[in-house]
Each structure stands twice: as C-alpha cells, then as structure tokens.
Amino acid sequence: MYRGLDCVVGTPGRICDHIERGNLKLGRVQYLILDEADQMLDMGFKDEMQKVFDAISRQREEKGEEKPLQTLLFSATLPSWVQEVARTKMKNPETVDLV
C-alpha cells in the first residue's frame, strides 16, 4: 500500500482500521463506491462510514485536491440513513429506481 493504489475494496471497519494505522492515504481519492449501503447500516457500520467520509474529506482538503469526489451509492432500499448520506455527502445526487 505504501507505493500507491488504484483501487481499495474492504468493509468500512477494515478501511477505518487502515486509516487509523496510517496505512491508507486518501488525499487523492477520486471515486467512492458504496455497495449495499442499506445492509452496511443494518450491520452497524454507520459510524465507520462517517469516519471514512470524514477522512477522505480531510485528506483531500490537506492535499489541495481540486477535482470533486464522485460518490456512487448502491442500495436495494432507501432507508433514512441512506437518504441522509445522499443529501449531506453528495453534490447533486441522482436516484435511479430499477423497480
């Protein structure tokens, strides 16, 4: 991880662990993809997801990253927490309903 990464895949808890250990630098992140966001909430990952969002925002600001972060959030249902993430963490969110 020290030489740089193109893609990181992991649970919110594991990603937080790497952030806290200083193993994962997020200052140049361009895309954040959250799959099964509703299930992450059901499994109790809300606080960890908030920490990931905060770390990305803080580190991007410190690096002076000018490109906007593109966040893609996938969810089978739209509970209030998922809607709150879209409203507060995304710019001009779009909803695609496949049902």
Per-residue pLDDT of 14-58, as tens digits, reads 999 999 999 998 999 999 998 988 888 888 888 998 899 999 999
Report the SS3 class of residue 3: coil
Is 16 inside a domain boundary?
no
Task: Give the amino acid at 17.
Answer: D
Helix (H) / strand (E) element for 73: namely strand 70-73
| pLDDT, tens only, 66-83 | 888 898 888 888 888 778
Is 98 inside a domain boundary?
no
The pLDDT of residue 70:
92
Is 66 inside a domain boundary?
yes
Rounded to two decimals, the pTM is 0.81
Cα angle value 20/83/26 (rounded, 5°): 25
The structure tokens 């193993």 sit at 23
Domain of residue 47 covers 24-89
> Could you give the percent of the chain with pLDDT greater than 70?
98
Q: How many domains does the chain have?
A: 1
